[in-house]
Amino acid sequence: MKALILVGGFGTRLRPLTLSVPKPLVEFANKPMILLQLEALKAVGVTEVVLAINYQPEVMLNFLKEFEAKVGITIKCSQETEPLGTAGPLALARDKLIDDSG
């Protein structure tokens, strides 16, 4: 099973926490929020997650490999070159979400 998480927002309501890291990497209960989401998805049988990223993509990409190994779930990224709202990232991630099993 696959899942899509929209993580491209700027996190303005969480400033100053999001000035140095993107919102998904802000810690909650001593873990980055994205890690909590990935663990919950893994627990319900999700095997692959596509993250629609935009804000500070290089920071997100640096952490993703660590999370992928830690959670044991495949993580792919769909990167916006400019903010596209909610529907834009869905369209960009479509190819990564299509089941290639036939």
The domain ranges of the chain are: 2-8+22-97
What number of CA atoms fall less than 13 Å from residue 96's CA on the CB side?
19
pTM to 2 decimals?
0.76
Residue 76 belongs to what H/E stretch?
strand 74-79
| Distance in angstroms (rounded) separating the CA atoms of residues 83 and 101 | 31
Mean pLDDT of 8-22: 76
* pLDDT bucket at 86, cuts 50 / 70 / 90: low
Burial of 63 (0-12, 13-18, 19+ CB in 10 A): middle
| Distance in angstroms (rounded) separating the CA atoms of residues 52 and 67 | 16
pLDDT at 43: 95
Residue-wise pLDDT tens digits, 23-77: 888 888 999 989 999 999 999 999 999 888 877 778 888 888 888 888 889 888 8
Q: What is the CATH number of domain 2-8+22-97?
A: 3.90.550.10
